[in-house]
Amino acid sequence: MGSNSLHVLKGINFSVEEGELVAIMGSSGSGKSTLLNILGMLDELDEGSYDLDGVPIKNLNETKAANYRNKFLGFVFQSFNLINYKSAMENVALPLYYQRVGRKERQEKALKYLDQVGLKEWAEHLPSELSGGQKQRVAIARAMAAEPKVLLADEPTGALDSTTSYEVMDLIQKINDQGNTILIVTHEPDIADMCKRIVHLKDGIILEDKKIKQVRASEYV
């Protein structure tokens, strides 16, 4: 949006297979968030190409981008980004509203996903009545409710203490175990170690891209 352009990503070439759990690491300013925003169609790329599930993502108009976001992508943010005047269940049901799912079915599905993140009892609560970890779990349930192809998490544990972080990571791992593709941006090594692959970014280029042996978060919980 700003008038001064900044060259953030300078040649990123990588692909993610279905069912992977990828950590994108790097110090601040390395371009990891920018990468995730481009992957999430929240930001536009100036050069290069990006294919999602065989569909080239380029020069999309707002409506098409909205469609893709709705169908392909689920987001989890560091600051949760729940709508504060809607209950946990209504927040989870929101992506389904934009998929034109009926109200009854939306509520059923939302409850199902809240149950999966262990918050069925909190369905009627507003975000302000939930703890940070609970909020993030609601956000994850919301991201999952749309049944996306890819789950994108931008510092999902950034605002949480380590115990809560591990709980959230445990949840993310379980979702990944069910075959969902997940990308996590983080700068915490212990969180990255809980993924199956780590991509290190520095100054807009890939420094390292390695598969690792996953550390199960459940060991810490």
Q: Which helix (H) or strand (E) holds 74?
A: strand 73-76
Among 12, 25, 45, 94, binds another protein (CB under 8 A): 94
Helix, coil or strand: residue 137:
helix
Among 16, 71, 196, 205, binds another protein (CB under 8 A): 71
Smallest separation (angstroms) from another protein to the CB of 129: 14
Phi/psi at 69 (5° precision): -55, -45
Decide: is 113 part of the binding site for another protein (CB under 8 A).
no
Residue with tokens 């199960």: 216
Among 77, 107, 159, 209, binds another protein (CB under 8 A): 77
Smallest separation (angstroms) from another protein to the CB of 70: 2
Among 10, 18, 27, 98, binds another protein (CB under 8 A): 98
Say if residues 32 and 204 touch (Cβ distance below 8 Å). no
Binding residues among 128-167 for another protein as defined by CB under 8 A: 142, 146
Smallest separation (angstroms) from another protein to the CB of 41: 8
Among 20, 67, 158, 205, binds another protein (CB under 8 A): 67
Residue with tokens 């509520």: 107
Phi/psi at 21 (5° precision): -125, 100
Helix, coil or strand: residue 144:
helix
Phi/psi at 183 (5° precision): -115, 130
Question: Which among 161, 152, 106, 98 is positioned nearest to 133, based on CA atoms?
Answer: 161
Task: Measure the CA–CA gap between 121 and 128, rounded to whole angstroms.
Answer: 15
- The count of residues in the chain is 221
Among 23, 82, 130, 151, binds another protein (CB under 8 A): 82
Decide: is 75 part of the binding site for another protein (CB under 8 A).
yes
| Count, residues near another protein per rule CB under 8 A | 31
Decide: is 66 part of the binding site for another protein (CB under 8 A).
yes
Residues within the interface to another protein (CB under 8 A):
1, 37, 40, 42-43, 62-63, 66-67, 69-71, 75, 77, 79, 81-83, 85-86, 90, 94-95, 97-100, 102-103, 142, 146
